Each structure stands twice: as structure tokens, then as C-alpha cells.
Amino acid sequence: MLRSVSATRYVTPLHSGGSVPGVVEADDLGTYVVKFTGSAQGRKALVAEVIVGELARELGLRVPELVLAHFDPGIAADEPHQEVRDLLDASAGLNLGMDYLSGGADLTPELAQDFSVGSGEAGRVVWLDALTVNVDRTVHSSNLMVWPTLGVAPARLWLIDHGAALVFHHRWDASAPEKAYDFRHHALGRYAPDVRSADAELAPKVTEELLREVVARVPDDWLTCEAGFDTPGEVRDAYVGYLSARVRASRDWLPTDFPSREELAAENAARAARTRRGRPDWLKRVPDLHGKPSAAPDWSRHLS
């Protein structure tokens, strides 16, 4: 099971993500980013975080430690934003914490130009995302961090935020295990990911025994007994069965087609050009409200 901590101080909400996680300090003197059960994404996002994060860890990829975080909304009584307070009030009890990588930097397209990732490591990350159907690790939203930051050796790549993975668990009967997804614009596509070598290395490691061990780390209360399932145990079996079948079908979904850096640059330039051409006339010819003639401002930088 995951280690448990109790939140002792609510530091600040993080508005960069739709789930509005919060930075908290805990009774083990650690600092964590906590994702709350009361968020709009619900408990299934936390289930995905645990299963994919812990599977990544077992396969040797870097994931900040996950903990079960007990949270009392009373420690955030001074939070000024009503919508955040509502979220916290709805999240009393058990939530999911991730070790806070202080000083880490998001792997943005700009940072990626100066940060090197080997084709082997890139291939293992892409393979994991394809296996777990993680559709939220793109060039525009990498959910990857560089920590420590560049200039502090050794800087390493860390995987975060897997709440959008396991998309099949939103409609169990609508997704076949062999289904392929479009990973052409994966955040690590520019690094020539060697997914074939990753498949040969990792697929034999993702055994039914390992999957059962990983899925067992999800608290029973987060496993919704929806239509077709009577107990949390049956839900666990469904995750193990689906992912086991998907591993066996890797030849059907293995992503191998990634655009080069030059192709990505050309696509970005074309997208920016379309945005500029698509501006309405009223944005191109903004009147001077002070009665003085002036050139129309270039607002395209706000629309890219």
C-alpha cells in the first residue's frame, strides 16, 4: 500500500490544472501536491494517477512518490476563493499526494530545445503512455518535469499528472484493448523515441502479478462499483484484465510515426499563420479612442 500522511498546513492552490490541486505540508515534514477527491474529475482521476504512476515506478521511470493524504478542510479556513473552499470542503478524508519537486521546471517546447532525452528513455515513456492510453502528454501539455533544473547536475526527467490516462475506465464496454491512438504529437516525439526496443524490454515485465500488485495500491473507496461490477475486487480484476490484454496486443497499438523537429516547427508556423489570417477585421483595425491616429496594434501574440 501507499504510505499515509496527514496534511498539517494548506499552502496554496495550483490554478494551472483543471483539478486545482493544492500544495500542502504534512506531518512527516514533507511537502506534497495534493489532488482532491472533490474535484470535477472525480475519483477515477486519482485511480489513474495511482495505477499509471506506480506502474511507471515499477518499470524504472521517475515518478514523484505518491502518498495517501488525509485532509481536514479546517486547515484551509483562510483560503479566500470560494470555489477553492468548496472543493476543499468536499474533499475531507483521504486524497492523493505527490511529492512536491521544488524548483522543478515544466518540459515546455522552449525548454525541450536545450534539454536532452535519449531515444531509449523517450521510447519507454511513450510506450507506457500508449499502454495506459494517456492522451495528455503532448507537445502543448507535456506533464513532464525537469528536476533539478537545468544547470544543476544531474537534471532528470520526471513523469507527473496521469489523471487523464486509462480512458477506457470511463466506458468499459466501448474500448477494445488493441485500439490504437494518435501519439504523433507526444511531448517526446522530437527525441526519436525507440518504442520497439521499449516494447521488447517492458512488455515482458508487465505481468498479471505486477498489475495486481499495482492495482492493489488503490483504496477501495475510490473504486466505483458501477454497472457490471458488484465489489471493488471485481473492478480491480477489470483493470488487470484490460491492461494484460493490451500488453499482449502491443503490435496493434505500438506508436512509431513521429514528426521530426523540422516538421513540428513547420506545423507550429502554419498554425500561427492561420491564427493571424483568421483575426476578424475589428481586431486588425482598432479605433483610436483618444482621437489620435495610430497604427493598428498587432495582437497576434495574444492569440497564439
User: Cα–Cα distance between 241 and 246 in angstroms, integer?
Assistant: 9
pTM: 0.86
C-beta of residue 123 within 8 angstroms of C-beta of residue 197: yes
pLDDT per residue of the chain (304 residues) written in tens, 0 to 9: 899 999 999 999 998 767 899 999 999 999 999 999 999 989 999 999 999 999 999 999 999 999 999 999 999 999 999 999 999 999 999 999 999 999 899 999 889 888 999 999 999 999 999 999 999 999 889 999 999 877 777 899 999 999 999 999 999 888 899 999 999 899 999 999 999 999 999 999 999 999 999 999 999 999 977 778 999 999 999 999 999 999 999 999 999 988 777 777 787 788 778 777 765 554 444 443 334 433 333 333 333 3
